[in-house]
Amino acid sequence: MPELPEVETMCRGIAPIIGREIERVEVPPCHCRPITIEPSVATIDRRLRGRPVTAIQRRGKRVMLCFDDQSRLVIEPRMTGLVLLADPPDPDHLRLRIQFRPPSIPSADAPTELLLWDRRGLGTIRWMSEKDYLEKVDSRLGPDAMCITAEELRQNLAASRRPIKVALLDQSAVAGIGNLYAAEILFLAGVDPRTRCDQLTKPQWERIHPAITWVLRDAIEHEGSTLSDGTYRNALNDPGNYQNMHRVYDREHLSCPRCEGGVIRRIVQAQRATFFCPGCQRKSGRHPSVSMPDNCRD
């Protein structure tokens, strides 16, 4: 966490800062280990002071504040990072504050600052020129999971000998999918997460691609998943709602929501927990109990 739906929710939540000019960039007092900020905060402050935020973009699991010289502030939340317009969950893990100049037309709704909060301190913040971003970030990521075509998905993964669940986490093949949503996608598609990519049938690939789009869109609509630790919050410090829609993730030993008699199982793949139903996610391919939602389309 956070994955594509959570990061997309962050981007949409901080959209009100578009057009606002930066007044100051600073690091608040914090006794926790510092997160990675490159270059120095003083340099970032000098380069961004007085510049308006021209756009908010997402690339995979990264939030990007874009500026008129084509530079951008690239924020990678990783495990516990949040991008907030409201007060943070606590002041102890506040890592960066970006203050804005008052708008030309006073408004009570205009945000005064953007806060970057990170409990574990694993996130990164990097100011990058357009050249650096294209070379060091964009070129290393595959097509975005919300935009990848069925043909691109198969081209990038079909020859791999990795299990499909592990392969979906490869950001150089498809950007944005993480552990939670890979499990939900494969359940919806009725595909055993242990199946090697090069052993998947054409019908299985044809179910995986629309399942990616459907699951991610649904999760974005519900503003992401806030798990039991309560860490993930949207830009206004409110929890997401998609955790209430999970079909398999973190539901070990519970009944399968799709097939009669199925029980959700937990295994470990690439040092990460995978949840699936052995009853309707079979390596043999299509199973009578597997059906896609009516509104699940490419």
Q: Is 202 a catalytic residue?
A: no
Q: Which stretches does DSSP call E strand in the chain?
A: 22-26, 36-38, 53-59, 62-67, 72-76, 81-84, 94-100, 113-118, 124-128, 265-269, 272-276
Q: Which two tokens stand for residue 104?
A: 């030309």
Q: Is 3 a catalytic residue?
A: yes
Longest dimension (CA), the chain: 63
Q: Residue 205: which residues within 8 A CB-CB, separation 6 or more?
A: 150, 153, 154, 158
Q: Which of 20, 47, 58, 61 is catalytic?
A: 61
Q: Is 91 a catalytic residue?
A: no
What DSSP assignment string belongs to 106-120? --TTS--EEEEEESS
Which is it for strands 272-276 and 53-59: parallel, antiparallel or unpaired? unpaired
Angle between helix axes 202-221 and 150-157 (nearest 10 degrees) is 120
Bin 190: left if φ > 0, else alpha if -120 < ψ < 50, else beta.
Answer: left
**Are the C-beta atoms of 263 and 172 separated by less than 8 Å?**
no
Q: Is 2 a catalytic residue?
A: yes
Q: Which of 51, 194, 217, 272 is catalytic?
A: 272
Which is it for strands 124-128 and 36-38: parallel, antiparallel or unpaired? parallel
Q: Which stretches does DSSP call E strand in 180-283?
A: 265-269, 272-276
CA–CA gap between residue 57 and residue 72 (Å, rounded): 9
> Which active-site residues does the annotation give?
2-3, 61, 272
